[in-house]
Amino acid sequence: MSLAAPKLPATRRRRLQMPVSVMIGLAVVVLMLAVALLAPWIAPTDPTNVASFDLMSAELPPAFMPDGDPAHWLGTDNQGRDLFSAILYGMRVSIAIGGGAVLVAASLGVVLGLLAGYFGGWVDIVIMRVGDVILSLPTILLALLVSGIARAVFPEAGTAQWAPVILIGAIAIHEWVQYARTVRAATMVEASKDYVRAARVIGLPPLHIMVRHILPNVMSPVMVIATINLAAAVLTEATLSFLGVGMPPTYPSLGTLIRIGNEFVFSGIWWIAVFPAVTLVVLVLAVNVVGDWLRDRFNPKLKGR
Amino acid sequence: MIASIGSRLGQAVLVMLAVTAIAFVMFRYVGDPVAMMSREDASPAEKAELRASLGLDRPAIVQYGEFLGRTLKGDLGISFRNQRPVVDLLAERLPATLELVIVATILSLAVGVPVGVYCALKPDGALTRAIQTISLVGISMPTFVTGIGLILIFAVTLRWLPSFGRGDVVQIGGWSTGFLTRSGWASLLLPSITLALYQLTLIMRLVRAEMIDVLSSDYIRFAKARGLPPRYINFRLALRNALMPVVTVTGLQIGSLIAFAIVTETVFQWPGMGLLFIQAVSFADVPVMAAYLLFVGFLFVVINMVVDLTYTLIDPRLRTRRA
Amino acid sequence: MKSAALSITDLTVDYPLADGSVITAVSGVNLEVAPGEIHALVGESGAGKTTIGNALMGLLQAPGRVAKGRIEIGGKPVDIRTGRTEGIVQGKDVGAIFQDPMTSLNPLFTVESQLGETMRHHLGLSRAEARQRSLELLRAVGIPEPERRLKSYPHQLSGGQRQRVVIAAALCCDPKLIIADEPTTALDVSVQAQILKLIRGLADERGVGILLVTHNMGVVAEVADRVTIMLKGQVVESGPVAQVLGAPQHPYAKALIGAVPRVDVKLPRLPVPAQESPGTAAAREQVRARMGGGDEAKAGVLSVDNLVVEYGTRGGLFGGGSRVFRAVKGVSFTVEPGEIFGLVGESGCGKTTVANTIAGLAKPTSGSVTLGGLPIGAKQGGLARKVLQMVFQDPYSALNPRLRVATAIAEPIAFYHLAATKVEAAEDAALLLEAVGLDRAAGARFPHAFSGGQRQRIAIARALAPRPRFLVCDEPTSSLDVSVQAQILNLLKDLRDLAGLSILFISHDLAVVRQMCDRIAVMKSGEIVEQAPTEELFAAPSHPYTRELLSLVPSLDKIAREPAPLGGAVG
C-alpha cells in the first residue's frame, strides 16, 4: 500500500489514448468483418457455384502480371475459380467458424467457471479435472482427433453443411477450459470479496449472487480472452483445413485455399497460396493487435499467454 | 513432498486412463474393425467368427481391460492401411520427430529467453518496439504459412536448402539420425525454424512479462534500496525468479511442439510421427490414430511429471515445505 | 559538530502527467534527522510521507521526480536531478526497511545470500567474512539460532523474524541513516513492540539516524524523538514528540491528534466534527420509525453457545492425510439488546471466524448461535437472515463496483419486500444514505466515486437496509485514516442509540474497543481468556494475556494531552 505512487488521474485519460497501431488494427478488423459479411454482394463471382468456374482460364496469374486477366485481378486457381472472390468468401467462412467457436467456448467456459469457482468442492474438482485432461492434449491434436473421429463415424462430416459444425465443436472443446479457468479464478477472488459476502449475509440466493454480482465483475478478462482467442480459433480452423480435415474445396475457407495453393508452390504458381495466406495473416494480426492492447490495457495480470 | 509426488502420480494415472479410454472407444467403436479387417466379400458367418476371435462380442468393460493389458505389453494393434504392427510404424517415425522437436526447443529457448529479458530491461527502446511488433506478427503466422513462406524463399527461389524429407540419415542401433550428415542438417534447418518460431514468440513474451513483474516486486525494490548493482539485480536475482514459470511453459511447449510437428511435417513431408498421423486421419486408419494419441498423451504426462519434479527441486518453497 | 544523518531542504516532488499538468506530491519540505535520533514522519494517506521516503531511496516511480530542493545524507549532498548520490551509496550509507516483510525478501534465496550480497558489493568482503558478519547481524537483531537461520529461506521464517532479517540487511554496511516505511504496520501488537524496541536500540547504540514513516500516533509516542506532521504534501507542524503530540498548535495537527482513540479514558464521543448532510436528522427519524416497527423489533439476546469451528485442509484428490485446524475452540458469550460487545485479539486468534460463523458465512462444527432463542437463517422455525447484518473491514471490496450505490442499497429492500414498489425502495435507500451522513444524490453514482470513509458509510447503509436487529462489525475502521475512523465510530454509536441495534464489534485495536464497547471479550488461540465490562477490564485486567496486550499497545498516553476540543479542520 505505502509503496504505491500517489494515485494519478492518468488512468482515465489512458483509456481513451489508443496507439496508432491499434487504431489501424481495429480499422482492419472492422473492414474485414464488413467485407466478410458483404462478400456475396462484393465478390465478382460466386466461388461456391461450380458452374461459374472456367477451366480454360485456370491458373491465371494476377492482373498486374504479364499474362494477367483484368477480370481476375488476383488471378485464378487450378479450377479457374476467381481468387479474389474465393478469398472474400473464404474469409467469411474463417471468421464465421472462428467466431462460432469462440462463442461456444466462452459460453460454456463462463458457466462452468462460475459454478466451479462459486461452489468449490466436488463441482470444482470434476470440472477442473476434466479441463486438466483436455488441456493435457494440444489444441490442434484434439481438434484433429475430433474431426477425424467425426469423419470415421459420420460420413457427412466432411461436407460443406456439416464441416463448420464439426470444426466449431473441435475447436471449442479445447478452448472452453481457458475461459473456465480464468472465470473460476476470478470468481473465487470476487466471491471472497466483502460485497459478495455481504450479499450472502443479506440472504440472497446463489444464482442471484452469481449472475448479478459476480458475473459482471468477471466479464472483462473474458472479453480480452475472447478477442485473443478469436485469432487463435481462426488459426486453428485454417490449420485443420490446411491439413485436409476442415472445410471442403467446394466451400473453401482461407485454410482450404492455402492447401489448394500449396500443391502449386513448387511450379512457380505462387499466387494461389500466397494471397489467401497474406489475407489470413493480416486478419489474425489485426485481431491480435487489438487483443494485445485490450489485454495490456484492461488486465495487466493476464499477460504471457 | 512425498505426498505431492503421490498426488501428481495419481493425476497422471487419471489422465492416462482418460486417454486410453478415448483410444479404446476410437479403436472399438469408430468404424467397424471387422469390416476393415475382413475381405469385402466375406460372409456374415466369417464376419461373426472374426468378431468372436477378436473378442468383440464380449462386454465393453472386459474389452477395455484387455485393451489396457495389450497396451501395457506394447501391442497397439495392426494398421488398417498397410497391415503392419502400429508399434513398429511409430518406432520407425519417432527419431525424425524427436530430433525436429529437440532442435526447435533449443532454438526457441536460446533466442526467446535473451530477447525477452532484453525487452523487459529496455521497455521503451526502439529495438524493443521492433521486437514486440515482430513477435505479434510471429504469433499471427500459422505454422504452415511460415513453412510455405520459407520454402518459397529458400527452396524455390534461392534454391539453397531442400524443401522436403530428412536428407541422408545414419542408423545407430534402432535410431536413425540426421545429425551426422551435411544433408541431414540442411534438411533440418527449415522445418526446425518453422516449428520453433511460434514457440519462440511465446517464450519471449512470457519471459518479458514475468521479468517486468518481478522487477516491480518489493524484494527487487528492496535489493535496489540496498544499493546492489543493476547488473547483479537483473541477472543474478530477478532473472532467476522470472525463469521459474518458464520451466513449466517450456515443458508444456515440448508437448505441443510434438503436436504442432504434425503441421510442419506435412508441409515439409518430414517422415515423422505427425505425417504418419495425418495420413492415418485421412484414411480413417483408427489403430494408428489411437496409438498416436496414446503415445502423445503418455509423453505429455511424463513431461508434466518431470516439470513438476524440476519445480520442487528449484523452488525452495516447495522443496522445504514439509522439511 | 557531527553532521546531520539527514537534512532535507525545500524538497518538492512532482508527478508530471501526460497532458502537461503536474501533481505536486510533496512541496517545500524541510526536515532534519540527527545521528541517533528517530524522526517520525506522520500524516494520513495522500500526505506525501511515503513519497519522501521513496525520493530518499531513489525509488520514486516514474513519472515522479524531484523538482527542487536539497538532500544531504551524512553531510554529503544527493544530486537531485539524477537521483544519484555523490559519494553516497544506496545500501551503504542509507538503509531501508519496508512495510511488508512477507514481500521484501526474495523467496528464492537464503537469508545468508541476501545479507551477504550487500556486504560483498559495498564492503568487498569475502564469502567467509560476509558470513561471519551476517551471523553477528542476526544476533544483533535478536534472531534465535542464527547459524541455522542463515541457511533458511524467507518462507521458513515468521513475519517478525523476516522483519528482523530486513532490518539486519538494512544495517549491514553501518549506514548513517535508515528509512523505515511503516515497519510495523503489517505486524501484530506483540511483534510490533519487539521490533520498535529493536529500532529504538539501533538509534541509541549505533547512533543511526532513523526516519520513521508511519500513520500510527501510538508508535510515534512510543519510540520517536521528533515528529513532523504532513498534510497534502506540506509540513504543518514539526518538533519534539512531547511538544507536538502534547500541545499541537496547528488546527489540523490538533484535530488529527484529537481523533486518535485513547486507551486511558473513555469519551462519550470521539472529538471530530460530525459529517452530516442537510437531511440527516430528519432521515434518521424516519429510519428509526421504520426499524422500530414490525414483529421482529424485539429480537432479544444474541447467544453464542460453546461454538467450535474447524477447518479441514484437504490433501488433494490423491494426497490423503487431511488435517483439521481448530480455529475456534468452544467460545460462549451473549450480547444484550442495544449493547455493543467487543471481541479483541491478535491476528489468527479466531475472532473473525467467530464473526463469520455468526453471520452465516462459515459453518460451526458444533455449538449454536441464536438470537432471542431462535436460530438465524435456518430453513424452518428460524429467523430470516436479514435480522443480522455485517459491516466489513475493507470498504474498497465491500461494494460491488458495477452497481450504483442506490441499487446496491435497494437490493435487500426489494428482496425482502420491505417496500411495496420500486419507487418506495429507492426512497428507502435515499433515506438510509442521508441517515449515514451522505447526500441522497450519492445514490446515482458508482462506488469508485467515493473515498474509503464514504464507502464505509454506504456499506453501513446497505447493512441497515434489510432492517436488521443486530450488526456484526469486523474491524470496520482498521483500514481507514484516523480522522475518518473517528467519524465512522461515532456514526455506529449514533445508529445504536437511534435504532436500538445490538453490535458485535471486532477489532485488534484496544483503544478503539475501549471507546466503542460496553463489554469486551479477549480472544487468544481460539478461546476467550477474559470477559468483562469495558471499564473493569481496562482498570483491572485479570488474565496475564490481557495485561500483556494492554502493556504493549503503543499509545499517546505517555504524553500528557490537553483535552481535545470538538471541531477543527480535519481534511
Chain A residues whose beta carbon lies within 8 Å of the beta carbon of residue B206: 304
pLDDT at A107 over 90: yes
Contact B34, B56 (CB under 8 A): yes
pLDDT at B54 over 50: yes
Distance from CA of C87 to the nearest CA of B (A): 12
**Domains of chain B: which residue ranges?**
2-72, 87-322
A193 touches C at CB < 8 Å: yes
**Residue A136: which of B163, B289, B300 has the nearest Cβ?**
B300
Reported ipTM: the value is 0.78
Which cell numbers in the block locate residue C138? 542476526
Which cell numbers in the block locate residue C87? 559519494
Chain A residues whose beta carbon lies within 8 Å of the beta carbon of residue B213: 303
CATH number of the structural domain B87-322? 1.10.3720.10
Interface of A with B in 77-106 (CB under 8 A): none
Tell me the three state secondary structure of residue C279: coil
* Alpha carbon distance C254, C217 (integer Å): 12
A213 touches C at CB < 8 Å: yes
Selected residue of A136, A275, A278 to mutate for chain B interface (largest B Cβ count, 10 A):
A136
* Alpha carbon distance B158, B36 (integer Å): 46
Contact C209, C177 (CB under 8 A): yes
**Residue B205: which of A149, A255, A304 has the nearest Cβ?**
A304
**Length of chain C in residues, anyone?**
571
Number of CB atoms found within 10 A of residue B59's CB: 8
Number of CB atoms found within 10 A of residue B71's CB: 20
C6-259, what's its fold? Rossmann fold (3.40.50)
Contact A265, B152 (CB under 8 A): yes
Range scoring the smallest mean pLDDT among A163-177, A264-278, C315-329, C501-515: C315-329
A298 touches C at CB < 8 Å: no
Question: Which residues neighbour A25 within 8 Å (Cβ) at sequence distance 6 or greater?
Answer: A285, A286, A287, A288, A289, A290, A293
A301 touches C at CB < 8 Å: no
Is A198–C459 a contact, with Cβ atoms under 8 angstroms apart? yes
Where do we find the cell 511447449?
A: B253
* Alpha carbon distance C55, C59 (integer Å): 6
Which cell numbers in the block locate residue B159? 534454391
A138 touches B at CB < 8 Å: yes
Torsion-angle region of residue A59: left (phi > 0), alpha (psi -120 to 50) or beta? Answer: left
How would you class A192 by CB atoms within 10 Å of its CB: exposed for 0-12, middle for 13-18, buried for 19 or more? Answer: exposed
Of B161, B146, B155, B268, which is closest to residue A274 (Cα–Cα)? B146
CB burial string C387-407: b at 16+ within 10 A, e below: bbbbbbbbbbbbbbebbbbbb
String of DSSP letters for chain A: -TTSPPPPTHHHHHHH---HHHHHHHHHHHHHHHHHHTHHHHSSS-TT-GGG--GGGTTPPPTTSTT--TTSTT-B-TT--BHHHHHHHHHHHHHHHHHHHHHHHHHHHHHHHHHHHHH-HHHHHHHHHHHHHHHTS-HHHHHHHHHHHHHHH-GGGGSTTTHHHHHHHHHHHHHHHHHHHHHHHHHHHHHTSHHHHHHHHHT--HHHIIIIIIHHHHHHHHHHHHHHHHHHHHHHHHHHHHHTSSS-TTS--HHHHHHHHHTTGGGT--HHHHHHHHHHHHHHHHHHHHHHHHHHHH-GGG---
Is A202–C402 a contact, with Cβ atoms under 8 angstroms apart? no
- The dihedrals phi and psi of B45, each to the nearest 5 degrees, come to -65, -45
Half-sphere exposure of B189 (CA within 13 A, CB side): 14
Q: Helices B273-282 and A139-153, interaxial angle, to 10°?
A: 30
pLDDT in tens, B182-219: 777 888 888 999 889 888 888 888 888 888 888 888 88
Interface partners of chain B (CB pairs < 8 Å, 3 or more) are A, C
Where do we find the cell 466436488?
A: A122
Chain B residues whose beta carbon lies within 8 Å of the beta carbon of residue C117: 228, 232
Chain A residues whose beta carbon lies within 8 Å of the beta carbon of residue C506: none
Beta strand pairing status for C226-231 and C38-42? parallel
Distance from CA of B172 to the nearest CA of A (A): 30
**Residue B140: which of A137, A231, A255 has the nearest Cβ?**
A231
* Terminal alpha carbon distance of chain B: 8
Which cell numbers in the block locate residue C62? 516514474
Sign of the alpha-carbon torsion through C101, C106, C112, C113? negative
* Alpha carbon distance C183, C202 (integer Å): 14
Mean pLDDT, range A246-265, rounded to an integer: 83
Is B210–A285 a contact, with Cβ atoms under 8 angstroms apart? no
Is A265–B14 a contact, with Cβ atoms under 8 angstroms apart? no
* Alpha carbon distance C185, C483 (integer Å): 18
Question: What chain B residue is nearest to C104 in terms of C-alpha separation?
Answer: B219
Question: Which residues neighbour B141 within 8 Å (Cβ) at sequence distance 6 or greater?
Answer: A281, A284, B197, B198
* Alpha carbon distance A144, A133 (integer Å): 16
* Terminal alpha carbon distance of chain C: 40
* Alpha carbon distance B262, B259 (integer Å): 6
Question: What chain A residue is nearest to C396 in terms of C-alpha separation?
Answer: A194
Of C41, C34, C36, C37, which is closest to residue C11 (Cα–Cα)? C41
Interface contacts (A, C; CB < 8 Å) = 101
Reported confidence tier of residue A302, pLDDT bands at 50, 70, 90: very low
Is B320–C156 a contact, with Cβ atoms under 8 angstroms apart? yes
* Alpha carbon distance B161, C528 (integer Å): 80
Is C25–A129 a contact, with Cβ atoms under 8 angstroms apart? no
**Residue B227: which of C89, C103, C318 has the nearest Cβ?**
C89
**Domains of chain C: which residue ranges?**
6-259
* Terminal alpha carbon distance of chain A: 28
* Alpha carbon distance C26, C57 (integer Å): 15
* Alpha carbon distance C113, C87 (integer Å): 26
A21-45+56-302, what's its fold? MetI-like fold (1.10.3720)
pLDDT in tens, C131-176: 988 998 888 888 888 888 888 888 888 888 888 898 888 888 888 8
From first to last of its 571 residues, what are the pLDDT tens digits of chain C?
467 888 888 888 888 877 778 888 888 899 999 999 999 999 887 788 888 888 887 777 777 788 888 888 877 777 655 544 444 556 677 888 888 887 888 888 888 888 888 888 888 888 888 898 899 888 888 888 888 888 888 888 888 888 889 888 888 888 888 989 888 887 888 888 888 988 998 889 888 999 999 888 888 988 999 999 998 888 999 999 989 988 889 988 888 888 888 887 788 887 777 666 677 888 888 887 777 654 445 568 899 999 999 886 554 444 445 567 888 999 999 999 889 999 998 888 889 999 999 998 888 999 999 888 888 877 666 677 888 899 998 888 899 988 999 999 999 999 988 888 888 899 999 999 998 888 888 888 998 888 888 999 999 999 999 888 899 999 998 888 888 888 889 889 888 888 788 999 999 888 899 999 999 999 998 999 999 999 999 989 999 999 988 888 777 766 655 444 444 333 3
Distance from CA of C209 to the nearest CA of B (A): 17
Segment holding C519, helix H or strand E: strand C519-524
Interface of A with C in 126-145 (CB under 8 A): 129
Distance from CA of C143 to the nearest CA of B (A): 20
pLDDT in tens, B61-70: 788 888 788 8
String of DSSP letters for C486-511: HHHHHHHHHHHHHH--EEEEEES-HH
